[in-house]
Structures are given as structure tokens and as C-alpha cells.
Chain A
Amino acid sequence: MRYDSLLDSLGGTPLVGLPRLSPAPDVRLWAKLEDRNPTGSVKDRAAFFMIEQAEKDGLLARGATILEPTSGNTGISLAMIAHLRGYRMICVMPENTSVERRQILQMHGAQIISSPAAGGSNEAVRMARRLAAEHPDWVMLYQYGNEANARAHYVTTGPELLADLPGITHFVAGLGTTGTLMGVGRYLREQVPGVVIVAAEPRYGELVYGLRNVDEGFVPELYDASVLTTRFSVSANDALRRTRELLDAEGIFAGISTGGALHAALAMAAKARKAGQRADIAFIVADAGWKYLSTGAYSGTLEEAEERLEGQLWA
């Protein structure tokens, strides 16, 4: 397939069946390979739509500075596009994210400001907000509240899924900014009566949360619980185990958050089977495993890998 440029090749990713992990001929799992995007993650869709919208709104002109709190993939997507279009990119990123992500960001010309590990992504958001207030000329696209993030999935990912899988019964994705779930979820709900929308939220150790008070919890502005049918919280151990199963059984080398989505997808598959219902369950492979090799997620026993992952942001 031929495209005028790399960015023109955005989306249109393959949907592949999982014949070995699917529990029955009429209860099937399907993986949407979002690592096949320009910078290798699902975040290219949101980044592209957010930048296009900001350009339309007149917020971005050549030489402008983009600031974004990001634990990696969104930053990489934004940095690549920003570099091509002549914008300066600054990422506020928790210090406990993998070295690969930092190197890739720097490769695309981004500047990184580290936020304390203890606060996780929430602290990165707080720090980015402070910086944005101090530098009113910087443009914070703010993926957690930017409607173009969810719209990217409403306009592209959702229709792609339905075209490839007209009998879709379930959609499962990781819950971060909530953009993928909100966009795809809204689209599918309009098109497919009774479709089940499932979120898989990463469950981090207390070290990453570092929260002293329950009331400090952060809910992205994009989040609308009514779009979801149900929501899972997946431990690092389960996410790792499923990530390895996906590689072992189906040959798919995915990032760790994908293991979380697969864990929830398998739970829904088991429920459908128990209820005697047919199911075509699509889930998002957010990125490939390359960026996580240094975390040790793919070597040694599961227990060793889990220990190494303690205190790191794995999704």
C-alpha cells in the first residue's frame, strides 16, 4: 500500500484473530494491532487529531511550543509530528518510565522534564499545569480533556473495527486518558445495539500511586462512565502473564498494557461462554513490546519480572 507520507499512513491497522486463545469457535478474540501506526502506538491517532485541531483553531504556528504531561506514547507521537511541522515539544514525564521512551523522545527532538515517581501520572499532570500557567504562550494539548483525542477514535478506530468485524459484540481497551474507550465506545453504541464496552485499568503498586488521601484521585475530563459497560482493574502480574501468553500462543509481541486488555477480554469471553452466548471480542494492542525490554518484563520467571516492574509505570 502506498502513501504520500508517513503521517498519511495513520490508522487502517490490521485486526487479527486469536485462534489459540479464543475459548470456542463461537467465542472469538480479535486483536487490533495499533503498533502498526507511524510511531508504533495507538496514540498516533489522538496526537494527530489534537495537533490538526489546534492548527485549525489557530493555537499553533511555526515555532510554537507544545507542552504535554505524558508517560511516553503520546509524547512520542506528538514529538514526531511536532518535529515535522516545526514546533518545539516539551514532555513532562514521571521519572520512573522506561529508558527507551526517553531515548525515542529525545531522538524526535523533544525536551523532557521529569516529575517525581511517587506521584505517577497525576503528578506529571499537576507539574504540566503549573508550567503552562507560568508560560502562557506554550500550548498544552492536554490529552486527558481534549475532545479531539476521543474524536480520533470515533472517526477512525471505531469505523475500522465495525468494517472488519460486523458481528462485534465486545470492545476492550486499556483505560488511561479514556480517549480510545470513549471514542470507539460511543461510535459502536450508535451502530451496534447491545455492544459491550470494557475498560482495563492498570493497577499499580502503592509506590506508583503515592497517594496519601483517597480524595486526591484523578479522573480525566474525557471520562464518561455511561459509555462503559464494565471496568476491570488488572494487576501487573496478570498483565505480564497475559502479555507472555499472547506472544507464546499467537506470536504477538505486545507491550504490557495489552496484557491487561487481554486479561479483561478473556474474562468477558469466559462469561459469554458460561452464558452460552456467541461473542466476537475485539481488543486494542496499544503498542509492541520493544519499548519495555529494559523493564525485564520478557525475561526470567513471571515472579522475577513482576518484581522488576514494581514501581514502574507499565501502561
Chain B
Amino acid sequence: MTIEVRIPTILRTYTGGAKSVEGKGDTLAELLGDLDSRHQGLRDRLVDEAGLRRFVNVYLNDEDVRFLGGLETPVTDGDTVTVLPAVAGGSR
């Protein structure tokens, strides 16, 4: 059992073009560290010294991790993590 991580097109250069990759860890930070060991440079595109980069959103089972526990959000086997660029939506 692992955690599925969905990667947006603009970051697939780090995953050899793969739309999703798998990793493990007890927190999001551990998961990103695990991913970076196989997809070097990916973590730096998502995280800087202050935490998650400003225009990157990461969702745990569709819920924004910034509102859960940031990089310390607990993750478990079977979860789905989705990485997206921050953009607006809505019928405006």
C-alpha cells in the first residue's frame, strides 16, 4: 500500500512524464522527501524555506493541506495527494 500523488503537466519533467507517482511517509513532508529521492528536484518546486510555495496547492483527498496541517499533515496508505497550480475558478 502506498500514497498516490498526482502531478500537474508543468511538473512532469521531474516524473519522466508520469501523471501520477507513488510514495510513502507518515506526513506530507516525509512523502515529498520520499518522492524527491526518486524524482530529484520535485520537492524544490513545491516547497521553499517558508513551507509550501505560494502558487502551489496540495490537496489530501481533495482537501487543501494548508487548512489541515501544512507539511505536517498526516497521510496514510490509500490516500490521494493532488498537486495543482493555484488558480481561480467559478462562474463569475
Q: Which residues of A contact B (CB under 8 A)?
A: 41, 43, 69-74, 120-122, 143-144, 174-177, 201-204, 206, 209, 211-220, 225, 228-235, 238, 255, 257, 263-264, 267, 286-287, 313, 315
Contacts and interface: CB of A to CB of B under 8 A. Distances in A.
Interface of B: 8-11, 45, 53, 55-57, 59, 62-64, 66-68, 82, 84-92
Given A74-B92, A122-B87, 16 more contacts: A73-B91, A73-B92, A120-B87, A174-B91, A175-B88, A175-B90, A201-B89, A202-B89, A203-B82, A213-B10, A214-B56, A216-B55, A231-B63, A232-B64, A233-B82, A257-B90
Contacts of B8: 206, 214
A211 B87 contact: yes
B64 A217 contact: no
Nearest to A268: B63
Contacts of A70: 92
A233 B85 contact: no
Most chain A CB within a 10 A radius of its CB, from B82, B86, B91: B91
Contacts of A255: 91
A69 B92 CA distance: 8
A99 B33 CA distance: 46
A201 B62 CA distance: 10
Nearest to A101: B91
A211 B68 CA distance: 26
A176 B87 contact: no
A233 B59 contact: yes
Contacts of B87: 120, 122, 204, 209, 211, 217-218
B90 A230 contact: no
B91 A286 contact: yes
Contacts of A225: 66
B85 A216 contact: yes
Contacts of A73: 91-92
B67 A206 contact: no
Given A203-B84, A212-B10, A217-B87, A233 B55 contact: no
B91 A287 contact: yes
A228 B64 CA distance: 11
Contact of A229 (B67, B91, B92): B67
A234 B67 contact: no
